[in-house]
Structure 1
Amino acid sequence: MFAGKKALLLDMNSTFMFGEDRFSASEDFSVHYFKIGGALPQDKINEIVRAVYKYLDARYPDENYRHSFPSLESAVRKVASEILDGNEITKIIDTFTFHELGYIPKEYAAALHQLRQRFTLAAVIDIWAPKTAWLNEFERAGISGLFSATSFSSDHGMVKPSPKPFELVLDQLGIANSEAIVVGDSPRRDLGGAKSAGIDCILVGGAEHPDALKSFNSLLELCTKL
């Protein structure tokens, strides 16, 4: 399975980061928003964040936005019914980011270190907010130096299953698609994007598909098979 492979191109959410995307109907976005000095009423900030999430969520599977996914700031400006100054837009983006961001458990950070001993690592990541908070979480978890290439969709607006983010990191690594394996939890986005780019894929998180090289319950289980 790993013969001739030099690099692993890792998905992030539900692959080595968890607890992300806390946008359920019961979430009160005003809690974080007020902590950072937001001035809008509770019902208004909750309304805006939910509308932003709905706006982006509707476009995420749409092929028309695969290579031009809207920025979070443009979504805030689009859905807000009132004129917001730059300071308030920044606080709304910060609040959205807080709820989109997950965490990296210690055992998964250790697994990435183990994988790095054998493979070059890259990350192909779909996020809607700017990447700064994720880079900070990588630093906290002690994994920021493990990736030789990264693609964050909020940098360039290209989202999986487009092959382009995968091709981008292959170019950064300077390796052929035959020398890489994509590892992710989504048959549609990770496996679909990998196939479009001509890269083999391993599924984790319990996902299965006949086109995957192999399926594992988790990245931790994959590490036991090396």
Structure 2
Amino acid sequence: MSGVASVAVSDQGDTDVISARANTRALIEEKKVLLLDMNGTFMFGEDRFGPDEDYAAHYAALGGELPARQVNAAIRAIYAYLDVRYPDEQYRHCFPSVETAIRDLFGQQLVADEVHRIVNTFAFHELGYIPAAYAQALHSLNRRFTLAAIVDIWAPKPLWLREFERAGVVDLFAACSFSSDHGVVKPSPQPFLHLLRELGTQPDQALVVGDSARRDLGGAKAAGIDCVLVGRAEHADAVASFANLLQLCDFVEAPA
């Protein structure tokens, strides 16, 4: 009996793992487009809305003059307003903007300049950062795939685009969907399908990469797209699960 056959008989489990990895690699390599989630996938340190967060510091740096207690209370109220609506299916295709939350909560109490400062302060605390290693991973993946970003954020996108520019990745994305542009949040399939139409790509040519089984995998399934989960998320319907985007990148680049 040959050595290879002996391994197959005595260690079937390892052989099954090798076969599964080969099948996963083949499926991923046949894709042309990666639709990438952002938070927890290649951006981290976002959503700094803890109970002890001082929102007034950034607000004051913008030239605002409202009392710190009022600013902190306002941001907490806005976050609570949006947070309770985010998982609610009735808001999936009409998720309110930060400005809508301000109007609903405070009416006309704030003048336009103050609304702008409050929105900017909220965005500053919602924003994360892209680590250099993840920026490099995006560059590596872009050599093999067309990249697009499918992003749920509550505030307007300018600070995120600035972070994309700082990290040197803004030009890697052939298309981006920011939920604050259109009010449609995952797991609706609409943003996924919109990006495919924009890129002229069929669902079977694309792969979603995200860290949420509910939002990323759920939206991908509804759109007929395969999905890989990262960030320790796992689900039987995912093509594969990786510890993070760096591990996925290493898997793609490793010799067959």
Do the structures match in fold with TM over 0.5? yes
The structure 2 residue matched to 1:162, chosen from 176, 188, 198, is: 188
Q: Does the C-alpha gap of structure 1 residues 82 and 44 become closer, same or farther in structure 2, counting only changes over 3 Å?
A: farther
| Secondary structure class of the residue paired with 1:145 | helix
Following superposition, the deviation at residue 37 of structure 1 comes to: 1.0
Aligned residues: CA RMSD: 0.9
Deviations 1:122-141 (A, max 9, x none): 00000000001000000000
- Number of the residue aligned with 1:27: 53
Bigger Cα displacement from structure 2, 163-172 vs 76-85: 76-85
Following superposition, the deviation at residue 82 of structure 1 comes to: 6.3
**Are 1:8 and 2:34 an aligned pair?**
yes
Q: Which whole-Å CA distance do the structure 1 matches of 2:63 and 2:102 have between them?
A: 18
- Number of the residue aligned with 2:173: 147
Aligned AA for 1:31?
A: A
Structure 1 outlier segments of 4+, above 2 Å: none
- Number of the residue aligned with 1:47: 73
Deviations 1:126-160 (A, max 9, x none): 00000010000000000000011110000000000
Q: Which whole-Å CA distance do the structure 2 matches of 1:60 and 1:109 have between them?
A: 28
Q: Which whole-Å CA distance do the structure 2 matches of 1:74 and 1:222 have between them?
A: 38
**Are 1:69 and 2:123 an aligned pair?**
no
Bigger Cα displacement from structure 2, 36-45 vs 111-120: 36-45
Normalised by the size of structure 1, how large is the TM-score? Answer: 0.98
| Secondary structure class of the residue paired with 1:148 | strand
| Secondary structure class of the residue paired with 1:166 | helix
From the two aligned structures, give the one with the greater helix fraction: 2
Deviations 1:64-103 (A, max 9, x none): 0000000111111211266110000000001001000000
Q: Does the C-alpha gap of structure 1 residues 81 and 157 become closer, same or farther in structure 2, counting only changes over 3 Å?
A: closer
**Are 1:213 and 2:231 an aligned pair?**
no
Bigger Cα displacement from structure 2, 79-88 vs 55-64: 79-88
**Are 1:91 and 2:112 an aligned pair?**
no
Alignment of 1:116-195 (within 5 A): 116-195=142-221
Deviations 1:20-49 (A, max 9, x none): 000000101001111111111111101110
| Secondary structure class of the residue paired with 1:51 | helix
Q: Which whole-Å CA distance do the structure 2 matches of 1:15 and 1:182 have between them?
A: 11
Q: Which whole-Å CA distance do the structure 1 matches of 2:169 and 2:70 have between them?
A: 37
Larger Rg: 2
Q: Which runs of 5+ in 2 are unaligned?
A: 1-26
Deviations 1:110-129 (A, max 9, x none): 00000000000000000000
Q: Which whole-Å CA distance do the structure 2 matches of 1:148 and 1:3 have between them?
A: 19
| Secondary structure class of the residue paired with 2:171 | coil
Q: Which whole-Å CA distance do the structure 2 matches of 1:10 and 1:3 have between them?
A: 16
| Secondary structure class of the residue paired with 2:204 | helix
Q: Which whole-Å CA distance do the structure 2 matches of 1:4 and 1:115 have between them?
A: 14
Normalised by the size of structure 2, how large is the TM-score? Answer: 0.87
| Secondary structure class of the residue paired with 2:186 | coil
| Secondary structure class of the residue paired with 1:225 | helix
Q: Which runs of 5+ in 1 are unaligned?
A: none
Q: Which whole-Å CA distance do the structure 2 matches of 1:188 and 1:6 have between them?
A: 24
Aligned AA for 1:75?
A: A
Q: Which whole-Å CA distance do the structure 2 matches of 1:82 and 1:182 have between them?
A: 41
Q: Does the C-alpha gap of structure 1 residues 81 and 28 become closer, same or farther in structure 2, counting only changes over 3 Å?
A: farther
